[in-house]
Amino acid sequence: MLLDGLTRLVTDGPAAAVPALRQAVNAFAAGDVSREEGLRWGWIAATVLWDENAGRAIIERQVRLARDAGALEQLPTGLVALAMSDAWRGDFTAAASLIAETDAVAEVTGSRIAPYTHMFLASLQGNQAELTSLIAVSNAKATAEGQGVAATYAQWTAAILHNGLGGYAEAFAAARQASEHGHLYVSIWALPELIEAAVRTGDTQVAAGALEQLAERTQAGGTDFGLGLEARCRALLSDRTAADDLYREAIGRLGRTPLQPELARARMLYGEWLRREGRRLDAREQLRTAYDMLAAIGMVAFAERARRELIATGEVVRKRSAEAATTLTAQEALIARLARDGRTNAEIGAQLYLSARTVEWHLRKVFAKLGIGSRRELNAVLA
C-alpha cells in the first residue's frame, strides 16, 4: 500500500495517492505490520500526508520496537524522527534529550547519521553560529557518504533561521534551493519558508507558485497541520478581508494541533499584517501573545522579531532573556527522565551504553543541580 501510494504520488499526484497512503498510515499506526516493516517504513506515509498525530504514534512505536529488538541500526533514525516531533511541538528539552541518546547510540555503533535534529533545533532556537557549524558537517556527510537529503535538510533549516532573524533574502535563497531539490517531504516542508521569504522580498510570483505546490499536498492530506500552514501562507498573498479570514483560519487549525511553534508564528504574522493595516490594538493582542509563546518556547530569533513589531505598535516591551528550561545537560536530563520513569541504573545504562556506576555518578550531579535528595522527588521537579 505504501509503495502503491508513493508511486501514485509521482505519477498521478497527491489526490490520487491519498487512499493508498491513508491505508498504509492506518496499518502502521495500528501495528498491523511485521516488526521489520514497522521499523523501516512506518513514518514515511504519515509525513507525506502532514499527519503529525499518526506520525507521532508510528514513530513512538518504531522506537519502542527498535529498543525491544535491539535493532541498533534502526534506532538512531527513529530517535531523530521522535526528537524532530518534540522540537516541532516546542519541547526543546525533550528533543535535546533524544539527541543525546542518538549520539550515545551512534558513538557505540559507529552510525554516521547526519545531525538532522541538531540543525532543526538550532534553527528554531535562532542559534546562527551553531547551525552554521552543523550545516558544514551535514554538507560534508552529504558529499562523502551519500546522504543527499542532508544537504536539502540543511537548506530548509537555514531558511527557518533566516526568516526568524529577518534575513529574508538569505531565507529566500536557502528555501528555494531546498524546495527545488524535489525531496519527497523535506522539499515540501521548505515551501512555507519560501513563501514567507518571497513575499517579504517582493517576489510574489515565486510565492504564488510555491503556494500552488504546497496546496496540492496539504489539501490532499486534509489535516489541520497542513491546511493551517496553507492558510497562513495564503494569507500572506491576500488582501484585506480574505487575509484576515485566512489568518484566523490558520490560528484556529494550528491551535488544534500540538505544534506550538507554528501557531506562534501564525499569530506573529497576523500581528505584523494587522499593524500594517493600521489596526494597532488588534496587532498588539496578536503580537503580545506570539511574543510570549515564542519566548517561552525558546525561539529567540522569532521572539525578537515579534518584540520589534510590538514596539512598532507603540507598546513598551521589556526584552526577556532566553532561559534554559533546566540547568541539566542534555545527557543529564535524559538520565533524569529515565530515572523518573522508574528505570534502574542498570536499565538506564543498558539503554545509553553506560555502566551502572556512571549512571549513578550522573544522577548524583542531577540531584545536586536540582536541589533534591532522591529519585522520588524527580517527578515533581521535572514536571
Q: Tell me the per-residue pLDDT of 208-223, one tens digit each, with 9 for 90 and over.
A: 999 999 999 999 999 9
- Domain match, 200 and 229 both: no
- For residue 238, the SS3 value is coil
- Average pLDDT for 61-72: 85
373 CB burial (10 A radius; 0-12, 13-18, 19+): exposed
- Domain match, 306 and 368 both: no
**Residue (of 299, 191, 280) closest to 236 by Cα position:** 191
- Domain match, 157 and 230 both: no
Confidence (pTM): 0.85
Residue 164 lies in a domain: yes
Q: Give the end of a domain, one of 139, 172, 207.
A: 207
- Domain match, 228 and 315 both: yes
- Domain match, 318 and 335 both: no
Flag whether pLDDT at 319 surpasses 90.
no
Residue 147: the pLDDT is 73
Flag whether pLDDT at 322 surpasses 70.
no
Q: Give the end of a domain, one of 161, 176, 207.
A: 207
Residue 154 lies in a domain: yes
Flag whether pLDDT at 180 surpasses 90.
yes
- Domain match, 239 and 318 both: yes
Flag whether pLDDT at 349 surpasses 70.
yes
Residue 156: the pLDDT is 97
| Of the listed ranges 20-34, 39-53, 58-72, the one predicted with least confidence | 39-53
Residue 296 lies in a domain: yes
Residue 112: the pLDDT is 78
Q: How many helices (H) and strands (E) does the chain have?
A: 21, 0
- Average pLDDT for 337-363: 84
- Domain match, 260 and 320 both: yes
Residue 227 lies in a domain: yes
Residue 105 lies in a domain: no
Torsion of CA 212, 121, 201, 223, to 10 degrees: 20
Residue 149: the pLDDT is 87
**181 Ramachandran zone, left/alpha/beta (phi>0; psi -120 to 50):** alpha
On whether the CB atoms of residues 382 and 371 are closer than 8 A, the answer is no
186-207 pLDDT tens trace:
999 999 999 999 999 999 999 9
Residue 127: the pLDDT is 93
Residue 42: the pLDDT is 67
Residue 332: the pLDDT is 84
Residue 131: the pLDDT is 95
Q: Determine the Cα angle at 288 with ends 286 and 290, to 5°.
A: 65
In this structure, how many other beta carbons lie within 10 angstroms of the beta carbon of residue 196?
24
- Domain match, 87 and 25 both: yes
96-131 pLDDT tens trace:
888 888 888 888 888 778 889 999 999 999 999 999
- Average pLDDT for 154-180: 97
Q: Could you please report the per-residue DSSP string of 290-335? A: HHHHHHHHT-HHHHHHHHHHHHHTT---PPPPP--S-SS-HHHHHH
On whether the CB atoms of residues 179 and 190 are closer than 8 A, the answer is yes
Assign residue 358 the CATH number of its domain: 1.10.10.10
> Packing angle between helix 356-370 and helix 345-352, nearest 10 degrees?
110
Residue 109 lies in a domain: no
- Domain match, 67 and 81 both: yes
For the chain, the average pLDDT equals: 89
Q: Determine the Cα angle at 341 with ends 337 and 347, to 5°.
A: 90
Q: How far apart are CA 63 and CA 65, in angstroms?
A: 5
Question: Which of the four pLDDT bands, split at 50, 70 and 90, describes residue 323?
Answer: very low
- Domain match, 153 and 239 both: no
Q: Determine the Cα angle at 202 with ends 191 and 288, to 5°.
A: 75
- Domain match, 320 and 232 both: yes
Flag whether pLDDT at 70 surpasses 90.
no
Residue 38 lies in a domain: yes
Residue 324: the pLDDT is 42
The number of folded domains in the chain is 4
Domain that holds residue 169: 114-207
Residue 304: the pLDDT is 95
On whether the CB atoms of residues 359 and 335 are closer than 8 A, the answer is yes
CA distances from 92 to 16, 89, 124 (A): 36, 8, 9
On whether the CB atoms of residues 112 and 90 are closer than 8 A, the answer is no
Residue 374: the pLDDT is 84
- Domain match, 66 and 154 both: no
Q: Give the end of a domain, one of 144, 172, 207.
A: 207
Flag whether pLDDT at 320 surpasses 70.
no
Q: How far apart are CA 170 and CA 141, in angstroms?
A: 23
Residue 321: the pLDDT is 53
Residue 104 lies in a domain: no
Tell me the torsion sign for CA atoms 160, 161, 166, 168.
negative
On whether the CB atoms of residues 113 and 105 are closer than 8 A, the answer is no
**Residue (of 140, 136, 178, 143) closest to 159 by Cα position:** 178
